[in-house]
Structure 1
Amino acid sequence: MTGSLTGLWQRVPRWFLAISDQGLVAILNLALAVTVTQVAGLSTLGRFAVVTTTTTLMMGVARLLVTDPWLASRTAPTEPVPELRWLVALAALGSAVVTGVVVLISCGGDDRWLITVPIAAAVVVQDFGRYLAFRVERAAGAFASDLGVLLVAAATFVVAVAVGRSGLTAVLLAWLVGLLAGILVLGGRLGGPFGPRGAGQFWQRFCRSLATRLAFDTAAYMLGVSGSLYLLAYVGTARDVGLVRIVQTMFSPAALVVTGLTMWLVPFLANRSPEHTGRVRTRASVWLAAVGLPLIALAVILGPWFARMVFGVEQAPDFGALALAGISTAAMAMAAPWIAAARVSGDYLPIAWSRAVAAIVTVVGMALVAGLRSTTGYLGLLAMQNVTVAIAAVLTVRHSEAAASRSDRVPEPLREH
């Protein structure tokens, strides 16, 4: 029986497992947002959005500095070594510290939010374990880990409700227990010795080069998305942030499908010839349109009903806010294959600059224009960012391909001179 199940997992396409894994993440995010709203209200959801944005941001920093460069290195050890485990531990500790500071500043002295400090550390470790599973081509491990997080968190919350503990504390504790279960699922590969000796040399050798190239683009993304949300929380209201969270949660299935389908696109393109890249990019665009666009349309049409029925809010996001979120998600989906092609070609700087400019416009606009300090204003600026990046990605790849085509047509004797 075990052998037949193993063979079945091996026959499942990796892209399908990637989409399914992202689907589990979407379900968990939705369940957390809905449960927090139901047990504590919309204002608490706004604080929850700020805290989860922080944990996501710090997870992104860990990916930028450690996970992504290690995954991209052809010479780094495939399995975690003590130096790598130490770097992940430092990233997890940094995430916990930053989240603790944000909680102390933004959560009004409510001690219940301190539970998110160990959650922030666990998120980094569990995320690294997922990517480790993908690196060794065992996507089923990542799927099992995220399934464990979801099921154990749900079971823990049900037990808490059964004993009369159904508030915010129960939700956060259930999330923490679920994350620990997901880490245990991957424990066989994550566990082992770790220490600071040689960690600096490891990072310099295997991570530094790519980490510095990714830093600019990631910093621009964080400024445009996370930084502007912090600004909205400061100059707007907790209700605005809560509504933004509801809208983003409704579109998260489409966004995570995009993430799942593009997770393997960069290495897939890197293993193909330049002549084949265009066909692969077109095929990926068709897949993204076929899967993502119906989900986007469904979220726009059913959004107000969904917000009232599931989240229990009386004043749901209006059609304008939902339409802007749909445009933003569609632009992200359509840009994904082009961004992947730009990374493979190495001509990525124009895309990073376009994201940086759009992020600066977002923050300055929200700070100076009162009409943008709202749910619709934030979502409109986010749509502007994604559309700008999508246009830049298409133009960059087209220019790169045109330059390569002209180079191929130059006669060999002229190239030598």
Structure 2
Amino acid sequence: MLSKVISALYLALWVSSCAVMSAEDPYMTRALKLMSETPLIDGHNDLPWQLLKKFNNELNKVDLYKLETTQTNIPKIKEGRLGAQFWSAYVPCDTQYKDAVRQTLEQIDVIHRMCQKYPEIFMFATSRQDIVAAFRMNKTASLIGVEGGHSIDSSLGTLRTMYLLGVRYLTLTHSCNTPWADNWLVDTGSEPSQHNGLSPFGKQLILEMNRLGMLIDLAHVTVTVMNQVLNMSKAPVIFSHSSAYGICPHKRNVPDEVLQRVNETGGIVMVNFYNDYVKCDKTASISDVADHFDYIKKVAGVGIIGFGGDYDGVNRLPEGLEDVSKVPKVVAELLRRGWTDEEVKAALGNNLLRVLEEVEGVRDSLKGVSPDDVLIPYDEVKNSCRMSYGYRNTGAVHSISALALLLTLALQALIALTAL
């Protein structure tokens, strides 16, 4: 009963705030109307990481209605009209080769518990259909993205287990190389390439993600990895929180030629609000963020654009976009610049809904393909914290791994031809 009263109260506040904003700015009036018709789907929010850092994930001691030390809380979510959110299950690179899997599972757990504690606000979601259903109920669809391939400890079994727990994207790297993929710092020259992009196991992983129906997130990887994945993935990819390199030449951003390839393959680039990626400076404005939307639209079309604010994962945000509640201002700015209603709706959520539908379609087309159970070669992951259980003949694993990749590719091609 209490939850219904609280929900009704926030709905009343939302209606009254709409009236105030509408009286002040006709573009905001139109923005809020469009956001009431199409869910704003954000690709990346690090509130779970803040819950770990500030509260040791002791969610019983946190009230998300009153929490003021984060860029995200329930009042801000409601004011920002957040229709769906990929919550980041992130743990730092220094957990690699140690307890990354355990720590990531704990972040997945806190996202589940957040949804359970506030069912009047959040609905746990794992599919396109779930997002649409949550939006109809005026709830924020809550999905999980794991940020960094180090979180799976080079294990396809761990990847599959996380998918069963609701994880719907994996960012292939964070800011460290994994035993199978190079991270974006390689492109800065500050770290050496270990794999010239993806190792053979990294390519196995891409195919397994296609089979599972898990989104492949190319934020944080090298340009070489971007192109390798775009060459081989059967499903569209995402950049969950990256901006346009042509506006701000930061190596975390997406270059023009990749933007064009994302368009050709049906993927999406979800614009990051971090000042350093928006303006390549410590300060930025709402207009600077809108410049990225305009630029991506010009280079590769409106069909690849989305929102990936990176709230609670960054410490410098544009003036006027200091927290989740301010996102409608970006929508109003796009309308002010002449974006049509359909273009805005595409960027808000329709593009991501299409990508999810296509990824789920690829998954369904691969139902006849068995899970890949060939391990990464032991020599590529051997360290003092890892046991050799499961490796009977490490010399043979290398040749088996390459053969398995070729057989998997051939089988997928055969299934695709049969479906035609």
TM above 0.5, one fold? no
Q: TM-score, normalised by structure 1?
A: 0.26
Higher relative helix content: 1
Q: TM-score, normalised by structure 2?
A: 0.26
Pick 1 or 2: higher relative contact order, CA cutoff 8 A, min separation 6: 1
